[in-house]
Amino acid sequence: MAHPRRPLDQGERNLLGMSPPRELRRDPVTGRAAIVAAGRAARPHTVASAAPEHDAGPEHCPFCPGHEHMTPPEVCRLGDGEPETPGWRVRVVPNLYPIVDAHGLHGARGAHEVVVLSPDHRASFGQLDDTAAIEVVRVLRDRAATHLAGGLASAAVLVNHRRAAGASIAHPHAQIVSLDATPPEVEAAERWAAAHVDDVLGTDLELARGGGSVLDDGEVAVWFPHAAGSPFTVRLAHRSAPARFDQTPDAELDACALALRDTLARLHEALADPPYNVTVHSAAVDHTGVRRWYAEITPRISVQAGFEMVTGILVNTTPAEQAIAVVRDQGR
Residue 58 φ then ψ, to 5° = -60, -30
What is the distance between the alpha carbons of residues 214 and 23, in angstroms, rounded to a whole number? 20
In this prediction the pTM is 0.89
The amino acid occupying position 198 is: D
Q: Which domains does the chain have, with CATH numbers?
A: 65-179 (3.30.428.10)
Query: CB of 267 within 8 A of CB of 278?
Result: no
What is the distance between the alpha carbons of residues 144 and 112, in angstroms, rounded to a whole number? 10
Instruction: Report CA torsion sign: 229, 232, 237, 242.
Output: negative
What is the distance between the alpha carbons of residues 143 and 92, in angstroms, rounded to a whole number? 9
DSSP string, 111-148: EEEEEE--S-TT--GGG--HHHHHHHHHHHHHHHHHHH
Residue 30 C-alpha from the chain's centroid = 15
pLDDT in tens, the chain (332 residues): 444 444 444 444 444 344 455 799 999 999 999 999 876 544 443 444 455 677 888 999 999 999 999 999 999 999 999 999 999 999 999 999 999 998 876 677 999 999 999 999 999 999 999 999 999 999 999 999 999 999 999 999 999 999 999 999 999 999 999 999 999 999 999 999 999 988 999 999 999 999 999 999 999 999 999 999 999 999 999 999 999 999 999 999 999 999 999 999 999 999 999 999 999 999 999 888 889 999 999 999 988 889 988 998 989 999 999 999 999 988 65
